[in-house]
Amino acid sequence: MEGQLCANLEISVEKPPGTSPPSFIALLKIYRELLVSKIRNTQCLIDNLINNEYFSTEDAEIVVQFPTQADKVRKILDLVQSKGEEVSEYFIRVLQKVTDAYYELQPWLDEIGYEPSENICSRPVVNTDPVSRYCQKLRHELGRDSKFVVSYAQREEMLLEETYSNSIMEMVSFTNESLGEVCQLEALFDDAVGLINEDGETIYVFGDAGIGKSILLQKIQSLWARKQLDIGAKFFFRFRCRMFSCFKEDEAVCLKDLLFKYNCYPDQDPAEVFHHILQFPHTVLFTFDGFDEIYSNFDLSSVPEMCSPDEPIHPLVLLVSLLRGKLLKGSKKILTARTGTEIQRNIIRKKVLLRGFSSSNLKEYTAMFFKDEGQRTLVLNQLEANPNLCSLCSVPLFCWIIFKCYEHFHSMYDSHELPDCSVTLTDVFLLMVEVHLNRSLKTSLLKNNTRSQAEMFKARKETLLALGKIAYRGMGNSFFIFEQEEVTAANISEEDLQLGFLRTVKGYTGFDSQSTYEFLHLTLQSFFTALFVVIEERVGTKELLQFFNECSSTETVQPTCLHIPWLKKHLAGEDPFRNNEHFHFTNLFLCGLLSRSKQKLFRHLVLPAVIKRKRKTLITYLGESMKSHLKGLTRSRLLNYNQIQVQPNFVWMLRCLYETQSEKVGKLAAKRMHANYIKLTYCNAYSADCSAISFVVHHFQKRLALDLDNNNINDYGIKQLLPCFSKLAVIRLSVNQITDHGVRILYEELSKYKIVTFLGLYNNQITDVGAKYVAKLIEECSSLEYVKIGANKITSEGGKCLAQAIQKSKTMFEIGMWGNQVGDEGAKAFAEALRNHPTLTNVRLTKNELDDEAAMSFAEMLKVNKKLVHLWLIQNQITAKGVKYLSEALKENTAIKEVCLNGNLISQEEAKAFENEERIICF
């Protein structure tokens, strides 16, 4: 267009200053063909011309008779020009005001420098463009739909704005290494951060059950609807992946219908709106929630990779084509799934990991939830006293349930305390069910001071069974949506529905012809499934253990749970969409519900003999499967240690064992491990899992090494490890969420027993405050040899404390300080500490803002020191001058093997001067 513009401008319409204003008629003549090619929407022009009585209805009728858009524009131009200057100017004014419809002409308007006259400014312009109207409608509907977070029952909804709290969100690499925290949601779409594959188009958000993936999408939707998310998206289409399971194998839908029928339908000219979307895909944002929830028999390998935007085809094919960028290439897409869901790399652009609430997020959420200050303080105090509960609360869903239960009981009884002992997830869900049942009681019954969970469950046994039955049936087939007939067939009454365990869902059948239902949360369906298996007397051994078998059988075939058939060929007969996390949850609840402590609760629901039989079967099974699971683990023989390296599924095993609350089971697990070094790295363990770890580990008789590197453990998790510290000789907690508070607990505990030799705290959130606790530990604990505290937030102050403590230590062998900011002052202190150190051999001060002064201090130290072997000063600001000091010093030192200086301010040319000193490594 620009070329055309320039050519046209040569026939200048601008008049010299002082002469009469430009002729708009002339402008329309000169740019006639440009206008004809760029104006796609004539209706808006006609509407406005009629509104202002520039056009009569006959004029409009004449225009409409022309078959093509171009001819319509030509006719409008003819009519407008024939009506004179004012109408011609108004025509241009409409093009200027309705930017949405005529955005392609905005550069032209700039070029001609159009400024409306006073008279024309007073003339109203209304945007009747179907695309703009659709965008407005979409914003309105999405804004309305994202306003509330659906809670217990539809009648009690929470405003998203008063609920949503920030949580930990990290961009990660393909191998899940952190690439930095996401502080603003716009960053999700910003290529400057976290981009791992420029050919991929999908932003993949993942995290555990209830961690907040859906609510994050809701937040994004709400911000977009309020124009508070500046990412250039004009259209927003949201889908829940479980919807795709609702289509029959032979169903076919075209892209237009998928977009409009399942989201928001254009009131005018759907074809034009769709055409616009096809033309400008980069203005479209899709969200696909819960990829792990798709279940379908549809065979994707039978369809071609490419599909046309106009042709009806199975919706799963459309989904896949959109994700792969085969349809609407360039559109923005966010896909969520639970951790462990395998998505092939080539569709991923960025990976975002949700880690739940940090301790400060939890405080913010508590403040939001409990508006009353007194109540808030009470809850915070109770939480503080119960780290077990706090660690459960790092998962927002569990936190919400716990708070809701507290709120409910507090309002019903004069006071209510959060549980003060260990709480299992089964306890939390039982409490939730009780609250739902409790809420249905008539108000007159409400105010009393006693409550009996057992009574409540007994009174509603039939309801629980009915809900359990439908949950169980769905779970077996990975169905999470239920048709009205299924609900009726399961004997779920209207009154049962009112309890709010099931909620109605819209939008799965296109035009909402019939009600469909789903459980409030998938974990609740897992819970009801387990409840059914426990209280239905006819359930035999096979059914009882059915979901354990599901988990183990898929694992043997495909350890990563779900794989995507359209991207990787799958084995014949295997369900391609199967993710077994909901089975894991079912098993976990089964262990909890069959635990001895729940005996009382079930006494009135099932015959005690039946429960006993089921418990026995379960415990025997756990014992057996534990044995085979432990046998299959990788074992290594290390100096002083027998190491086992576990897989993420081991955490599920520990969780199940913990839910049983049986000391006998915990003890057996400890015994069967036949190891004293447990490597639980990259297992996606979160803080509450530390309760389960302690549950087993505290049974160990002797000293033990526990490696929890690369998990999601915060300070509350550290508190949960309290029963283990007396045994721990090696404790590795690198790449977790530990702050100074957690380090303080570590100091207090580890200094009591003084057996720790290795402390790994690399890549956490430790500042100088935490560094001081580590320093105290080094001073007080003569057993300590290795400390890894790199990639934290330690400055010269913390650096100095650590160095001084090391100076006093007679055992320290290695200190890792990579990626802190100790600077030259800190470096000086380290040099001083090293001068005559009897044991310290490895020092890593990579990336610590050190310059030549630091190099000089180390050079002086090296002249005296006789023990240091490796000194890493990589990626600092040391110049050739500093290197010279160091190389001179090495003449007097035979102990040291290497001084690594890669990534400093030394050129290849300068490095040649030190070529003879092989121990100086510059490149």
Ligand X SMILES: Nc1ncnc2c1ncn2[C@@H]1O[C@H](COP(=O)(O)OP(=O)(O)OP(=O)(O)O)[C@@H](O)[C@H]1O
Q: Does 149 bind ligand X (CB under 6 A)?
A: yes
- CA-based diameter of the chain, in Å? 104
Q: Does 528 bind ligand X (CB under 6 A)?
A: no
Joined tokens for residue 664: 């006998």
Q: Which of 194, 266, 281, 290 binds ligand X (CB under 6 A)?
A: 290
Q: How far apart are CA 733 and CA 190, in angstroms?
A: 31
Give residue for tokens 């004809």.
36
Q: Which of 72, 242, 276, 338 binds ligand X (CB under 6 A)?
A: 338
Binding piece for ligand X, criterion CB under 6 A, among 372-380, 396-404, 702-710, 910-918: 396-404
For the bound state, the minimum distance from the C-beta of residue 163 to ligand X, rounded and expressed in Å, comes to: 5
For the bound state, the minimum distance from the C-beta of residue 297 to ligand X, rounded and expressed in Å, comes to: 23
Question: CB-based contacts of 748: which residues, under 8 Å, 6+ apart?
Answer: none
For the bound state, the minimum distance from the C-beta of residue 451 to ligand X, rounded and expressed in Å, comes to: 24
Site string for ligand X, 155-174 (x = CB under 6 A): --------xxx-x-------
Residue with smaller CB distance to ligand X, 338 or 598: 338
Q: Which of 72, 97, 133, 213 binds ligand X (CB under 6 A)?
A: 213
Q: Does 120 bind ligand X (CB under 6 A)?
A: no
Characterize 861-894 residue by residue with b for buried, 16 or more Cβ atoms within 10 angstroms of its Cβ, and e for exposed.
bbeebeebeebbbbbbbbebebbbbbbebbeebe
Q: Does 340 bind ligand X (CB under 6 A)?
A: no
For the bound state, the minimum distance from the C-beta of residue 524 to ligand X, rounded and expressed in Å, comes to: 10
Q: Which of 288, 400, 480, 762 binds ligand X (CB under 6 A)?
A: 400
Binding piece for ligand X, criterion CB under 6 A, among 182-190, 209-217, 415-423, 487-495: 209-217
Q: Does 688 bind ligand X (CB under 6 A)?
A: no
For the bound state, the minimum distance from the C-beta of residue 164 to ligand X, rounded and expressed in Å, comes to: 5
Q: Does 207 bind ligand X (CB under 6 A)?
A: yes
Q: How far apart are CA 315 and CA 246, in angstroms?
A: 10
Q: How far apart are CA 99 and CA 206, in angstroms?
A: 37
Q: How far apart are CA 402 and CA 740, in angstroms?
A: 26
Q: Does 481 bind ligand X (CB under 6 A)?
A: no
Q: How far apart are CA 28 and CA 452, in angstroms?
A: 82
How many residues interact with ligand X (rule CB under 6 A)?
21
> What are the angstrom distances between the C-alpha of 598 and each of 149, 398, 437, 528?
32, 20, 18, 15
For the bound state, the minimum distance from the C-beta of residue 347 to ligand X, rounded and expressed in Å, comes to: 20
Residue with smaller CB distance to ligand X, 243 or 896: 243
Q: Does 355 bind ligand X (CB under 6 A)?
A: no
Q: What are φ and ψ of residue 482, in 5° steps?
A: -125, 135
- Closest by CA to 488, choosing from 515, 513, 507, 510, is 515
Q: Does 519 bind ligand X (CB under 6 A)?
A: no
Residue with smaller CB distance to ligand X, 160 or 913: 160
Binding piece for ligand X, criterion CB under 6 A, among 112-120, 393-401, 509-517, 898-906: 393-401
Q: Which of 79, 142, 285, 397 binds ligand X (CB under 6 A)?
A: 397
Joined tokens for residue 847: 């990336």
For the bound state, the minimum distance from the C-beta of residue 680 to ligand X, rounded and expressed in Å, comes to: 23
**Positions in 365-384 near ligand X (CB under 6 A):** 365
For the bound state, the minimum distance from the C-beta of residue 691 to ligand X, rounded and expressed in Å, comes to: 20
Q: How far apart are CA 388 and CA 524, in angstroms?
A: 21
Q: Does 548 bind ligand X (CB under 6 A)?
A: no
For the bound state, the minimum distance from the C-beta of residue 735 to ligand X, rounded and expressed in Å, comes to: 22
Handedness of CA 451, 454, 455, 458 (dihedral sign): positive
Confirm if 163 and 149 have CB atoms less than 8 A apart. Answer: yes
Q: What is the DSSP string of 496-559?
A: HHHTSSEEEE-STTSS--S-EEEESSHHHHHHHHHHHHHH-TT--HHHHTHHHHHHHHHHHH-T
Q: Does 214 bind ligand X (CB under 6 A)?
A: yes
Q: Which of 194, 200, 212, 340 binds ligand X (CB under 6 A)?
A: 212
Q: How far apart are CA 350 and CA 333, in angstroms?
A: 10
Report which DSSP code applies to 293.
Answer: G
Confirm if 547 and 264 have CB atoms less than 8 A apart. Answer: no
Beta partners for residue 354, in sequence order: 169
Residue with smaller CB distance to ligand X, 361 or 893: 361
Report which DSSP code applies to 643.
Answer: E
Residue with smaller CB distance to ligand X, 212 or 823: 212
Residue with smaller CB distance to ligand X, 362 or 817: 362
**Positions in 305-334 near ligand X (CB under 6 A):** none
**Positions in 798-837 near ligand X (CB under 6 A):** none
Residue with smaller CB distance to ligand X, 165 or 358: 165
Closest-by-Cβ residue to ligand X is 212
Amino acid at 466: A
Q: What is the DSSP string of 411-460?
A: HHSS------S---HHHHHHHHHHHHHHHTS-HHHH--S---HHHHHHHT
Q: Which of 211, 229, 561, 900 binds ligand X (CB under 6 A)?
A: 211
For the bound state, the minimum distance from the C-beta of residue 534 to ligand X, rounded and expressed in Å, comes to: 22
Report which DSSP code applies to 791.
Answer: S
Task: State the residues that interact with ligand X by CB under 6 A.
Answer: 149, 163-165, 167, 207, 209-215, 290, 338, 365, 396-397, 400, 522-523
